[in-house]
Structure 1
């Protein structure tokens, strides 16, 4: 059985996150996604798909009083998310332990102003894949949900002109652009990220707007190697 530990949520003041000591830690990608999100005062409801142990909702709650719902399919990981919300005494976050494809049981369509997602990245399984219930297999591989599912849900549950934010691997950009176009979530902004100073731009942040006009801004690439903080990294850009 994994030991439950309370950790600082990187350098975010008064934000703590519950994690298993030897498994399933939050990732840099979640921090980048949360920082990339821009929330307006008029935004009332935010959905975080594939929320994990809730790093994105926890960070977003520092930006807004909007109500944030996190969906997590894995029971143990959803428990971590709920405990993380509890230890931070945050009232505007709710965690739902269910398959996001069952969202119609909880919300009407066209409900959310913003939807975020740090999804499974790999559309094929490694040869070493053994157990469908392994935490990391479900988190990293499209065994429970795929990219098309994510775009379809985002389109159906965003309000008109609602915003969808996604973090993904750059090598899936062709799939991202295809599904964004197909589901009328027009890509409005792309931010390429390098995690090493001499490395490739292996991560991408995507901003889509439902039923918007076409036109994409490609921001100057950013290297996040050895940064002391990720706070306000995209301020003034998004």
Structure 2
């Protein structure tokens, strides 16, 4: 493992779960705590027989985490950026999971034929948070695509999710709390009924900046709002729940909550 070939600016990070590791490039987009929160949120409703799609997988972090948490039958991960696809494939190979996790190059707005409509038990996504015409766009193309709705927007993602999910299939997403009205209204518009919601707060005295949402394709109206999730205690340390989500009390790296 330590002799695995790495490219310039790359590092191999230990995910602290079942020995899984991931390749990341420090000059490009690296995953933050939001990916970990989403994987944990989605995993609670998955089992080892499920077939899952990750839309906009980036480094492939969410498929790796879901495999470590659940061991799903198959995880297909779609990504449009060639360099990220190549790096994610190497991470999958590094962990020997080529039979379980498939990284696919393609556009969310026009998914390739490997992704079959009305087939999947669950879809997860950690999409770009910022609308294309708002905020400062990062000059690095890969980071800009990860943070802003440049190549696809929220509605594109939700329409594709609805098309790929089997009836009653689950859709799970993390996003900015400020986009919550858009999220819920578009979910219902495309036919994914919001069923579960959890607001994420940096700490108890701050306002929510992230939201975890789950919906069912063709589900009946009934939304459960779960208890708040706090990232940090007042002393700056992770809360006990965050340590538990990481799955290892030794994990003390503080990932970036936001993408800006």
**TM-score, structure 2 length as denominator?**
0.83
Indicate the residue corresponding to 1:94 in structure 2. 102
Gap change, CA 1:95 and 1:217, over 3 Å in 2: same
Indicate the residue corresponding to 2:127 in structure 1. 119
**Residue of 83, 87, 90 corresponding to 1:83:** 90
Q: Is the CA contact (8 Å cut-off) linking 1:2 and 1:22 kept in structure 2? A: no
**TM-score, structure 1 length as denominator?**
0.90
Indicate the residue corresponding to 2:23 in structure 1. 18
Superposed, 1:120-159 pairs within 5 Å as 120-126=128-134, 128-129=136-137, 131=139, 134-159=141-166
Q: Is the CA contact (8 Å cut-off) linking 1:2 and 1:21 kept in structure 2? A: no
**Residue of 39, 54, 64 corresponding to 1:48:** 54
Alpha-carbon RMSD across the aligned residues, in angstroms, is: 2.0
Q: Can you give the 5+ residue segments of structure 2 that lack an aligned partner in the other structure?
A: 1-6, 233-237, 249-260
**Runs of 4+ in structure 1 displaced over 3 angstroms?**
124-131
Q: Can you give the 5+ residue segments of structure 1 that lack an aligned partner in the other structure?
A: 234-238
Gap change, CA 1:2 and 1:136, over 3 Å in 2: farther
1:130-182 Cα deviation digits (max 9, x unpaired) = 75x71110000000010000110011110000000010000000110111110
CA distance in 1, matches of 2:59, 2:138: 23
Give the count of matched residue pairs.
230
CA distance in 2, matches of 1:78, 1:200: 35
